[in-house]
Structure 1
Amino acid sequence: MSDLLKAIRYQHPERLPVSVSLLPATWARHGDALTRICQRYPELFGNVASDAATSYYTPPSYHAGQFTDPWGCVWSNVAEGYESIVTGHPLPHRQDVRKLRAPDVDMGLPHGFMFLRLMDLRGFEEIMVDFAEEPPELQLLIDIVRDYNVRQMKLMLKKSRDELIYVGDDNGMQDALPISPAKWRKYLKPAYKAIYDVAHADGRLVYMHTDGCIFEVMPDMQEAGADMINPQIRANGLDNLVRVCRGRIPINLDLDRQLFPFASPERVREHIFECVRALYLPEGGLGLTAECGADVPLDVIDMICRTLSEARDFHI
């Protein structure tokens, strides 16, 4: 059993689970220099080939240009190696929801499969008005997206025997939820539970990535079936995460990606160990992950890797 699974189950992982994510734009900017850093830390990256910088994996949405997904959402991207955003919403008017049919194409559960999908379909302002006014079309839209996602989860489970199922859907903004916790519990919690119940019925665990300020509903996410949550430190605050999660909700902490581009390597090292000291328990419940964009200096990336490698062996 991996240390991450032991951490989720509070079964005393031998080492603190850690990971580093390097975005396609980061590879494109730093190239061979980034490859050399990765080769210094096989415990984080495995055996990295010397040509890794020129053959990095780029998802379709990270290419410059436009494309339309099976839901009819138009995605636009102005720079290679960065994520696209939805600029064309297929349901601009509330009554359009009544004509919506879920795609026949099976997309799986890409990032933004539930809450963000509602925004992508209606547009941010329109879906916020829907949550404020609570028309019947809101629940209808949620039901259509939820049922499609339940089908996708069933298909995913047939294709993979992995014990841990990874999903991602950003629910928060920088300083708050975009809707009230009460409305999140009313509308989103049942939808996630219906999807995650499928995984649990098959004996799987669910890892939920979700950006933004979410600490107010993290216990609800757990009740809905998220066995481990991947929250952002900057958006939620270390004190809130300690209060809500330590010893209660397993988290894979997303370290401060808003700090990395501007801080010294020494400050980044201090930040990582501050988080470890505050959240670590020998029995588990904690992992650490760092995402490095193209604006993170190489010496900071190297320090992140070095510090996380050391943090693996942290003990109180």
Structure 2
Amino acid sequence: MTSREIVKRNITFSDPPRIAIKFDVFGFNDCYDIWLKDCRGYTFETGGIDEWGCVWERSEVDNMGRITRYPLSDWSEFSAYQFPDPLSPAKYVQFAQDLAGAGDKFVMFCGGHGLFERFHLLRGFENALLDVYVEPEKTHELLDGLLDFHMRVITEVHRLGGGRLDAVAIADDWGTESATMISPEKFREFWKPRYAKLFKHIHDLGMHTWMHSCGKINDVVDDLIDAGLDVVNSQQPRTVGIDEFGRRFAGRICFETIVDTQTTYPHGTLDEIRDEARELVQKWNTPHGGFIASDYNDAAAIGTTIERRRAAFEAFAELAGIDPSLYPVPEGS
């Protein structure tokens, strides 16, 4: 069975032969990610001004950096604001070449920042949290613009992909250590209806829906499922609670997850990492599928090591019936 089919069967709970695995560092990945280019040539590595007008500054720490100017920090700038062109040829210049390398893997279009993250990257975080209370009409209007942008991009990548794309993934970190950043009530008022439209659009094009969301998002997972989310990527299983998350949501949504990136992955012993990997599969997987094990590619940002990543990979691989010795540690790692 191909990697593509294994991932699909995990997502749809259709009795896959094993869990799916995403560990690029050791040369084993059932999925294949495709990203578009920023129209202005911005990348996380270079910093500068992105296509949305956000000014990014790199720091001495190896991560995505921080924004030093928010293009819509004042609502007075909104009436003249120009969204990026979702159909700009510059965005798709490498798409065909990238897609050609997919082989028999499950192809994910990575749409980047979602409806919440892009909203606060434009407005500034504190402004964004206040907007749902003090500027609800403008909030609705801006979110509608973001939704339209995403839907037009997704329509175009589907057209260019000729049906080869299997899923659309977005990133919206909704959680703090203890709750969602915005109340579930405001989430349901402003974001859930738009997620439902976005996910329906993706499903209508024959693709699965996928969202990365860190933090304690437990209070809105039911809403995400109801809106049509197929896969949730949580990289902090201890924050959401391994027992609680499994008890409430296993079998209802497919999980992409990893040994906890705040605690176990950077600080645990190798045995603790292996034990947590096994516990996640035991409590979040089902007899009919629903589990995708992944790595954290930006290892330096969370302070983990190649040895810890290896321990996690070996544990997941063995549970999948894969011989990890066939996928050795790369030289120089």
For 1:145, the aligned partner's letter is: L
Give the alignment of 1:1-316 within 5 angstroms: 2-20=5-23, 38=26, 42-44=27-29, 61-64=43-46, 66-79=47-60, 81-104=62-85, 106=87, 110-160=111-161, 161-232=164-235, 233-258=237-262, 259-291=264-296, 293-294=299-300, 295-313=303-321
CA contact (8 A) 2:117 2:171 kept: no
Between the aligned partners of 1:146 and 1:156, the Cα distance in structure 2 is 16
Per-residue Cα deviation, 1:270-308 (whole angstroms, up to 9, x for no partner): 111111121221111222222151221232122122112
For 1:181, the aligned partner's letter is: P
For 2:43, the aligned partner's letter is: S
Using the size of structure 2 for normalisation, the TM-score is 0.78
Report how far residue 43 of structure 1 moved.
4.2
User: What residue in structure 1 maps to residue 329 of structure 2?
Assistant: none
Report how far residue 208 of structure 1 moved.
1.8
SS for the counterpart of 1:72 is coil
Between the aligned partners of 1:14 and 1:112, the Cα distance in structure 2 is 33
For 2:290, the aligned partner's letter is: G
User: What residue in structure 2 maps to residue 55 of structure 1?
Assistant: none
CA contact (8 A) 1:71 1:103 kept: yes
Between the aligned partners of 2:30 and 2:185, the Cα distance in structure 1 is 41
Between the aligned partners of 1:268 and 1:234, the Cα distance in structure 2 is 12
For structure 2, which runs of at least 5 residues remain unmatched after alignment? 32-40, 93-109, 323-333
CA contact (8 A) 1:75 1:84 kept: yes
Per-residue Cα deviation, 1:206-260 (whole angstroms, up to 9, x for no partner): 1222222212111211222211111231331112211321121221123311121
Report how far residue 111 of structure 1 moved.
1.9
Between the aligned partners of 2:117 and 2:181, the Cα distance in structure 1 is 11
Change (3 A) 1:111 1:43: closer
Per-residue Cα deviation, 1:123-161 (whole angstroms, up to 9, x for no partner): 001111112334311111111111111111111211222
For 2:217, the aligned partner's letter is: I
CA contact (8 A) 1:166 1:208 kept: yes
SS for the counterpart of 1:212 is coil
User: What residue in structure 2 maps to residue 51 of structure 1?
Assistant: none
CA contact (8 A) 1:17 1:288 kept: yes
Per-residue Cα deviation, 1:165-195 (whole angstroms, up to 9, x for no partner): 2332222223211100111111111122222
SS for the counterpart of 2:68 is strand
Greater mean deviation of Cα atoms: 1-10 or 100-109: 100-109
Between the aligned partners of 2:82 and 2:196, the Cα distance in structure 1 is 22
For structure 1, which runs of at least 5 residues remain unmatched after alignment? 23-37, 47-58
Between the aligned partners of 2:42 and 2:167, the Cα distance in structure 1 is 24
Between the aligned partners of 1:87 and 1:224, the Cα distance in structure 2 is 34
CA contact (8 A) 1:61 1:75 kept: no
Between the aligned partners of 2:137 and 2:13, the Cα distance in structure 1 is 42
User: What residue in structure 1 maps to residue 38 of structure 2?
Assistant: none
User: What residue in structure 1 maps to residue 105 of structure 2?
Assistant: none
For 1:251, the aligned partner's letter is: F
CA contact (8 A) 2:21 2:294 kept: yes
CA contact (8 A) 2:42 2:51 kept: no
Residue correspondences, number: 283
Between the aligned partners of 2:67 and 2:24, the Cα distance in structure 1 is 23
For 1:239, the aligned partner's letter is: D
Per-residue Cα deviation, 1:101-125 (whole angstroms, up to 9, x for no partner): 3222545864213111110110001
State the percentage of identical aligned residues. Answer: 25
Between the aligned partners of 1:20 and 1:257, the Cα distance in structure 2 is 15
Between the aligned partners of 1:98 and 1:243, the Cα distance in structure 2 is 47
Change (3 A) 1:276 1:87: same
